[in-house]
Amino acid sequence: MNTQCYSKIYSQNKQISILFVDDDDSCCDVAAMALKSEGYNVVTAADGQEALDIFQANGQDFDLIITDFQMPKMDGVQLLEAIHAIDPRFPMILCSGQIALAQESLSLTGVIPLKKPYSAQSLYKTIDEALHSLTLASPKN
């Protein structure tokens, strides 16, 4: 059995860039530090509207978005729906302490849930799952 991470396979020729969105500054800081320590490029946003603005200006620079569910201005579901309208194949992870409620609110398929609180290992595993589903569907160039 091949135990190599899908994110490592996906990123053989480039660094994976993640847009990480959470209104909790400490959550953003800890996640960004953990992801950067694993070699990911990370840009953070404090709410859905800020993330959407970043994505609209530089979406081609990102490989994945990870967002919290409940945030001010624009919540995670609204953000993912807006990004899906721009790029329906874009890999997305939705984080929430109330994952069942978050999934009920979300009409999109292909969004991978991640229950809060999560460990660094479960975050890495979920990223691998999101990137693996992308490579199975149609690799992003």
For the chain, domains (ranges, CATH) are 15-136 (3.40.50.2300)
Res 107: pLDDT = 66
Tokens representing residue 76 in the block:
């995670």
Q: What is the average pLDDT value for the chain, to the nearest integer? A: 84
Burial class (CB in 10 A: 0-12, 13-18, 19+), 60: exposed
Identify the H or E element spanning 8. helix 6-10
Task: Please tell me the pTM assigned to this model.
Answer: 0.84
- Residue 7: CB atoms within 10 Å: 23
Percent of the chain residues past pLDDT 70, beyond the cut: 77
Identify the H or E element spanning 21. strand 17-21
Instruction: Report the C-alpha gap between 28 and 113 in whole angstroms.
Output: 17
- Residue 64: CB atoms within 10 Å: 23
Res 51: pLDDT = 97
